[in-house]
Chain A
Amino acid sequence: MAEQSINIPQVIVFAVVAFLVYRWYSSKPSANGTRPAANRSVRINPAQIDTIAQMFPQLNRRDIAWDLQRNGGNAAATTERVLSGRSLDSAPASFQLPATSTAAAPIRPVAAVAKPSHPDLITRYNLSSKLSQTPEPTEEKPRAKAWSADRNERQSNLQRKREEMILAARRKMEEKEKASASGAVA
Chain B
Amino acid sequence: MSNPAAKRLFKEYKSLSSDPPEGITAGPVTEDDMFLWEALIQGPEGTPFEGGVFPAELKFPKDYPLAPPKMKFLTDMWHPNVYNNGEVCISILHPPGDDPHQYEQASERWSPIQSVEKILISVMSMLAEPNDESPANIDAAKMWRNKREEYEKVVRQNVRKSLGL
**A contact set with B: CB distance below 8 Å:** 50-51, 54-55, 75-76, 79-80, 83, 105-106, 108, 111-118, 120-124, 128, 146-147, 151, 154-155, 157-158, 161-162, 165-166, 169-170, 172-174, 176-177
Contact = CB atoms under 8 A, between A and B. Distances in A.
A158 B112 CA distance: 25
8 contacts: A51-B66, A51-B95, A105-B98, A105-B100, A151-B31, A161-B20, A170-B164, A177-B165
Nearest to B113: A83
B106 interface: yes
Contacts of A115: 84-85
B100 A173 contact: no
Given A155-B30, A158-B27, A169-B53, A111 B83 contact: yes
Nearest to B53: A169
B87 A111 contact: yes
Nearest to B95: A51
Nearest to A115: B84
A75 B87 contact: no
A173 to B, nearest CB: 5
B4 interface: yes
Interface of A is mostly: helix
Interface string B2-43: 001100000000100111100001010011000000101010
A162 B18 contact: no
Q: Please list the 4 inter-chain residue pairs (A to B) with the smallest Cβ-Cβ separation, ordered nearest first.
A: A122-B164, A111-B83, A120-B164, A54-B96
Contacts of A75: 63, 66
